[in-house]
């Protein structure tokens, strides 16, 4: 009896995986700044009416880091923004309307005004 229940459970799990594949996008973040970068990934939506999911991570200076962004992690949202700041006193760079269905290389560059964000979709 246990074997049958296990096989039914595994069959159901397989069905769910095929019928509803998990959607996740990979982001390769490159910090080209000489300082550590605080990266904030935030779901897109109504800032006032919704409690939007936010993830914050510090990336060391001149460092490369990879994130996996899933719709589930964004409370079901499919689009998000990523912002990087090296200081509370300078403007941070922000890339908007990124999709969990796509993979990106996001580079944060140091410039005169602060940090600039450049996102490029990876195929």
Over residues 47-100, the pLDDT tens digits come to: 787 888 899 999 999 999 999 999 999 999 999 999 999 988 887 999 999 999
| pLDDT for res 24 | 80
Nearest to 93 by CA among 119, 69, 63, 70: 119
Residue 1 pLDDT greater than 60, yes or no: no
Looking at residue 123, what is its pLDDT?
Answer: 82
Q: Determine the pLDDT at residue 23.
A: 63
70: how many CB neighbours lie within 10 A of its CB?
11
Report the C-alpha dihedral over residues 5, 8, 13, 16, rounded to 10 degrees.
Answer: -140
What's the pTM value of the predicted model, to 2 decimals?
0.77
Closest CA to 37 of 104, 120, 114, 121: 114
Q: Which domains does the chain have, with CATH numbers?
A: 22-122 (2.60.40.2890)
**pLDDT score at 11:** 39
Contact 41, 59 (CB under 8 A): no
Is residue 7 over pLDDT 80?
no
């Amino acid at each position: 009896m246990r074997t049958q229940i296990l096989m039914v459970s595994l069959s159901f799990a397989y069905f769910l995986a095929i019928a509803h594949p998990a959607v996740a996008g990979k982001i390769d973040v490159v910090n080209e700044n000489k300082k550590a970068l605080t990266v904030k990934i935030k779901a897109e939506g109504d800032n006032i009416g919704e409690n939007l999911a936010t993830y914050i991570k510090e990336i060391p200076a001149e460092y490369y880091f990879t994130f996996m962004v899933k719709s589930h992690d964004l409370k079901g949202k499919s689009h998000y923004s990523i912002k990087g700041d090296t200081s509370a006193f300078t403007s941070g760079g922000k890339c908007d309307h990124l999709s969990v269905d796509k993979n990106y290389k996001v580079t944060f560059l140091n410039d005169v005004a602060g940090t600039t964000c450049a996102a490029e979709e990876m195929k």
